[in-house]
Amino acid sequence: MAKDKQPRKPRAETPKGFRDYFGADVVERREMLAKISAVYERYGFDPLETSAVETVEALGKFLPDVDRPNEGVFGWQDEDGDWLALRYDLTAPLARVAAQFRNDLPSPYRRYAMGPVWRNEKPGPGRFRQFYQCDADTVGAPSVAADAEICAMLSDALEEVGIERGDYIIRVNNRKVLNGVMEVAGILDPSDPSKFEAERGIVLRAIDKLDRLGPLGVLALLGEGRKDESGDFTTGAGLTEAQAKVVMRFVMATTNIHDRMVERFFRPENPLPEPSELGSTLIGILFPDMLAISMSHPAELKVETLEYLSSIVGISETGRQGVEELEQIANLLLAQGYGPDRIRMDPSVVRGLGYYTGPVYEAELTFEIHDEKGRKRQFGSVAGGGRYDDLVKRFTGQAVPATGVSIGVDRLLAALRAKGRSGAQSQGPVVVTVMDRDRMADYMAMVGDLRRAGIRAEMYLGNPKNFGNQLKYADKRGSPIAIIQGGDEAAKGMVILKDLILGAKIAENATLEEWKDRPAQVEVPVAELVDAVKTMLALYESPAR
Amino acid sequence: MAKDKQPRKPRAETPKGFRDYFGADVVERREMLAKISAVYERYGFDPLETSAVETVEALGKFLPDVDRPNEGVFGWQDEDGDWLALRYDLTAPLARVAAQFRNDLPSPYRRYAMGPVWRNEKPGPGRFRQFYQCDADTVGAPSVAADAEICAMLSDALEEVGIERGDYIIRVNNRKVLNGVMEVAGILDPSDPSKFEAERGIVLRAIDKLDRLGPLGVLALLGEGRKDESGDFTTGAGLTEAQAKVVMRFVMATTNIHDRMVERFFRPENPLPEPSELGSTLIGILFPDMLAISMSHPAELKVETLEYLSSIVGISETGRQGVEELEQIANLLLAQGYGPDRIRMDPSVVRGLGYYTGPVYEAELTFEIHDEKGRKRQFGSVAGGGRYDDLVKRFTGQAVPATGVSIGVDRLLAALRAKGRSGAQSQGPVVVTVMDRDRMADYMAMVGDLRRAGIRAEMYLGNPKNFGNQLKYADKRGSPIAIIQGGDEAAKGMVILKDLILGAKIAENATLEEWKDRPAQVEVPVAELVDAVKTMLALYESPAR
């Protein structure tokens, strides 16, 4: 091959793991976030927009131990030696702001934030290195009333964007109850919390996988470990059978355990067990008290669940406190009318992040979608959060209680699309075609009139020679109407409106009865252009919006 | 000093050159951008949101010649060796997208983009390393109708956000005319454009400084150079007097030269010259033909200016083309009703960026503000842009004509604030105080009722022990009303509304007649809480909004 002396042309590529959003996608997200903002503001939350860049020191966790900090963040060294990085979430910047401006901000400080965050992770299908988060947090409120408020607000926000009641559930748990269970199981020593840290980590991650692995999978991870379908072995926490039972009894104390068992054991591919057989399954043996609870009506479960949880964490002070807090949250929510149809307690909620110290909560969409393999599955989690009382302390040395939620913006948008409730079928513009290059000023004047009347309109700005290209352009833009004025029309002071939607329908099905009497184009005096366009557009206005 | 064994606490600081936006600032910008978006969409522009990160290769200009690319961008090396960087504007990503998706996008492609950009520059007062831009561009439209459209749209956008007609002017020039002048002046050889490149750069930068340095300053920079007040010497372009006169005659062919001369020569600190003396000033000698033009009425200037420009660029083909294009733009704009009160030609507009190849435009706010030293000055430029036909070519090898504008979001916001037209006096929330910790559920229910009625409301979530702190909190939040229910009121089923705005006014001026008959607090039955709050809020609704 001959050597190419030309400088190589740069590749026109979105960097790996990043993406670009076009047109309707941008509008759709903007509209959804506007609705969420309105709810947050009604709750007294103020917007905060921090810089995208933080010092690595302020972000924490990701300190530059080698040459550069590449553990999960995008970082670089400043001229004056400081390490800077893109924020990886919206909570770390909030903690920094709460410490930095503590004398100026109201206390408690309710704030919401929306914006991109960046993760330096291997990109994969559906895994991006820049994505949107939408957070709301209350800093400086020790009372669990703040947690209850966030759960209520999350419920309102989901309904506001178009997730109907019954299509979602917010599940609440408390890390303190979890810690109580760990105490009872003998893997948390309140006098030396550093002991058994590794075991507790494995236990938390195992509980978090209940949905995916089922009770037996979790049980395996609590013990010796588990081999998955691909043959990979995950080391377990090494608990004894007695210890594992304590944890499992707790995990299964969930109000929707029944639904899950049905889902898991009654799958089409499995032989159908008799209802009476349930009692003899492993679950029935391990957790006999669960069945009674899970079979009764959810609305009556609150007290039973709390009593049941108390019986498990009995001897642990932390555990007892946790159960009390859950009860307070339930009461505060019920006082505002948020019952278990919207928000309920669920001991299997763990939330991965290490920094949670109290209540944790998660919003799950319960309607079914078809996954990439065509199988039905629940849509799953779209938001989560909890109480983290130690994040601000890193900066100030003083504990500052805080709690907050983060909505996965892209997942929620995907859910709205799956439910057909996304509002982003934005209308294409009316296109004024150019028949005569010397009369561009006339066409421009028409476009100006349409725009002044609030109608989305464009003049064709490409090379006007080929009229077919102009109509192809109008088609690509999703234009409802093309405006045409050749020399003949201009001489008469007339202009032609071509109904492109009707045109497309006729092309699709030329014999369609309902269209046969409607003209696909009309000629009107130039002075009546705006009114004629309005009349034609009105035919296609979606009654749903 | 004793050694500190504790790990050092991280500093809670916004990184140098970055900033955080709180509450009203976020709302204000969001509302302004929403208004601009609405105008852009009416013009048929579609939103585009590219990733914040680009490959350094795609960004161009800033290639990693040493260890890392730190010339103006924040960059870092990816695990697989690619250099990545934060975008420094919204045009480079558009060029990349236009090349990458050229088979899918409509052509011409009208797009707008809003978002932060990052510059790795020394931070200074008012100079930030992250700031917002708001761009609109048309890619693939060779006709200057696209440039005219952008100017009209910019005019509409400025009026939409609240800049009144007469408070702004959009000035249009054409790089081709400038190039024609350079040809005539003998510093551009069409057969070898690389010659005199340095000289032309100095000339462009000099013209760009006309506002700041005045004609004499520019003249000095065209010649040997100029010493500024601090004694620093800037090397000039080294033109002969004859060459410099060609350039100056062109630069001064501006329709508002008269205003500028008055401004410059009639400053209070200067002795007042007689009007007849003007003819004998240096300006009068250098540019006799200018005076006649600049003295006549701006609306009549179009033809004269064009004739005048033609006379200067006479022998240059490029220059002649440029003048013709300016005439087309003026005609297209006039056809839509955009006269010289909104958009006018001004040969002094240069726009710094090297990549412009045709029409350039700039929006200037003409009202006066007081600068940091209390002196009156015009607010100045808030937006600018032009035609750049070579940016997409970098990727594809094929020339793609493009033109676009960028609005300086922060400057425009500052202008709206200076004019008192910013809409960000957002109302604080109604605060429900906590008198009795055991009845939190009751207070929460009140807050819930208020929120459901669309009223911004909060329950106090701090430690409720000190009631004074609760009122201080309400004050800091800008609350209009505090809701109070102690044991006595609860027993009667009543609740107290405290009018905090009235309270503040009374505290300011206790004898104020107009307030004396209005009670600063009322007691109402709990069931009437929402209506009573609405009634009280209605008293303070600003009729202006």
- Put simply, the answer to whether A444 touches B145 (Cβ < 8 Å) is yes
CB contact residues (below 8 A), chain A span 21-40, against chain B: 21-23, 25-27, 30
pLDDT value at residue A423: 58
CA distance B245 to B240: 9
Which positions 506-525 of A are in contact with B (Cβ < 8 Å)? Answer: none
B82 pLDDT tier (thresholds 50, 70, 90): confident
Evaluate the CA torsion angle B312, B315, B317, B321 in order and state its sign: positive
A 69-88 residues inside an 8 A Cβ radius of B: 70, 74-76, 78-79, 82, 84, 86
Q: What mean pLDDT is predicted for residues B284-293?
A: 36
- Say yes or no for a CB contact (<8 Å) between A335 and B462: no
Q: Which of A367, A383, A398, A347 has the alpha carbon at shortest distance from A158?
A: A383
Asked if A12's CB is within 8 angstroms of B396's CB, the reply is: yes
B9, B15, B337: residue with CB nearest A394: B9
User: Which of A80, A85, A42 is CA-nearest to residue A62?
Assistant: A85
pLDDT at A113: 98
CA distance B544 to B421: 11
Examine the pLDDT at B298 and tell me if it is beyond 70: no
- Kindly state whether A493 is in contact with chain B, defined as any CB-CB distance less than 8 angstroms: no
Q: Does B438 touch chain A (CB under 8 A)?
A: no
What is B430-538's CATH number, 1.10.3720.10, 3.40.50.800, 1.10.10.10, 3.30.750.24? 3.40.50.800
With CB atoms and an 8 Å threshold, state whether B12 touches A477: no
Q: What is the ipTM of this complex?
A: 0.84
pLDDT, position B340: 81
DSSP string for B309-338 = HHHHHTT-HHHHHHHHHHHHHHHHHHHTT-
Across the interface, which of B26, B106, B143 has its CB nearest the CB of A473? B106
pLDDT band at B273 (very low <50, low <70, confident <90, very high): very low
Q: What is the pLDDT of residue A9?
A: 86
**How high is the pLDDT of residue A486?**
93
Residues in A 281-340 with any Cβ partner in B closer than 8 A: 328, 331-332, 334-337
Closest CA to B151 of B277, B16, B329, B272: B329
What's the pLDDT at A515?
A: 53
Q: Within a 13 Å sphere around the CA of B44, how many CA atoms are in the beta-carbon half? A: 30
Q: Is the pLDDT of residue B71 over 50?
A: yes
Check if A23-52+87-418 and A430-538 are the same fold. no
The neighbouring-strand residues paired with B227 are B233
Interface of A with B in 388-417 (CB under 8 A): 394-397
- Which residues from chain A sit within 8 angstroms of residue B19, using beta carbons? 51
CA distance A290 to chain B (A): 30
Cβ-based contacts of B51 with chain A (< 8 Å): 14-15, 18-20, 130
- Judged by CB atoms closer than 8 Å, whether chains meet at A18 and B118 is answered as no
Can you name the CATH fold of A23-52+87-418? BirA Bifunctional Protein; domain 2 (3.30.930)
* Sequence spans of domains, chain A: 23-52+87-418, 430-538
> Nearest CA of chain B to the CA of A401: how many Å?
10
> Nearest C-alpha of chain A: how many angstroms from B25?
9
In DSSP notation, A188-229 reads --TT-TTTTHHHHHHHHHHHHTHHHHHHHHHHHHHTTEEE-T
Q: Which two tokens stand for residue A236?
A: 């377990």
Give pLDDT, residue A543: 44
Phi first, then psi, for residue A104 (nearest 5°) are -105, -30
Cβ contact, residue pair B397, A107, below 8 Å: no
Low-confidence ranges of chain A (pLDDT < 50): 1-3, 62-70, 255-268, 270-302, 543-545
Q: Which of B13, B87, B461, B465 to mutate to test the interface with A (most CBs of A within 10 A)?
A: B461
Contact B444 A107 (CB under 8 A): no
Nearest by CB to residue A451, choosing from B15, B43, B476, is B43
Please report the sign of the dihedral spanned by the C-alpha atoms of residue A332, residue A337, residue A338, residue A340: positive
Mean pLDDT of chain B, nearest integer: 82
In whole angstroms, what is the distance from residue A204 CA to residue A354 CA?
A: 10
Residue B323: per-residue pLDDT: 87
Chain A contact probe: residue of B9, B14, B430 with most A CBs at under 10 A: B14
B26:A47 CB<8 A = yes
Is residue A368 within a helix (H) or strand (E), and if so which, with residue range? Answer: strand A359-370
d(CA B160, CA B202): 37
Residue B261 confidence (pLDDT): 47
B110 interfacial to chain A (CB closer than 8 Å): yes
Query: What is the percentage of chain A residues whose pLDDT exceeds 90?
Result: 45
Higher pLDDT among residues B475 and A290, named by residue: B475
For B267, how many CA atoms within 13 A lie in the half-sphere containing its CB?
Answer: 9
State yes or no: pLDDT of B178 exceeds 80.
yes
Check A13 against B146: CB less than 8 A apart. Answer: no
Predicted local confidence at residue B301, as pLDDT: 42
Q: Which candidate, A492, A543, A489, A496, places its Cα nearest to that of A520?
A: A496
How many beta-carbon pairs under 8 angstroms link A with B?
279
Whether B105 shows a pLDDT value over 90: the answer reads: yes
pLDDT at B120 > cutoff 60: yes
Instruction: Give the SS3 label for residue B411.
Output: helix
- CB B441 to CB A335 under 8 A? yes
